[in-house]
Amino acid sequence: MSNKRYAEMSNEELLKSQKSIKTVTAILAGMLLFLFAVNIFLAFKKGFSALNAVPIALLPIVIINVNTLKEIKKELNSRNISE
């Protein structure tokens, strides 16, 4: 989403969106950390496989969500609304 889209959203919509994205991002990041740790363990135990790339491939989703949260926070701050 662009900043223009956030400017069109109401305060309640922004806060709801921020809360849901924050929750989903935290869960995804936690699962990726767990998956990364399991992959390291399995890489030492059984060797490398194509599945070792999955956590690295899903990492951009977390980065995009973090950037989206920053944009939402910037819009909320411009409206002088605290989280």
Measured distance CA(72)–CA(34) in Å, rounded: 28
Q: What is the mean pLDDT of each run of 10 residues along the chain (83 residues)?
A: 76 93 97 94 90 91 96 90 66
Predicted structure pTM score: 0.82
pLDDT of residue 28: 97
pLDDT of residue 5: 87
Q: What are the structural domain ranges in the chain?
A: 3-78
DSSP class of residue 51 equals G
- Helix, strand and coil content of the chain, in percent to the nearest 5, comes to 85, 0, 15
pLDDT of residue 52: 87
**61 Cβ partners below 8 Å, 6+ apart?**
28
> Are 52 and 71 within 8 A, CB to CB?
no
47 Rama class: left (phi>0) / alpha (psi -120 to 50) / beta: left
Q: How far is CA 59 from the centre of its chain?
A: 9
pLDDT of residue 4: 65
pLDDT of residue 80: 81
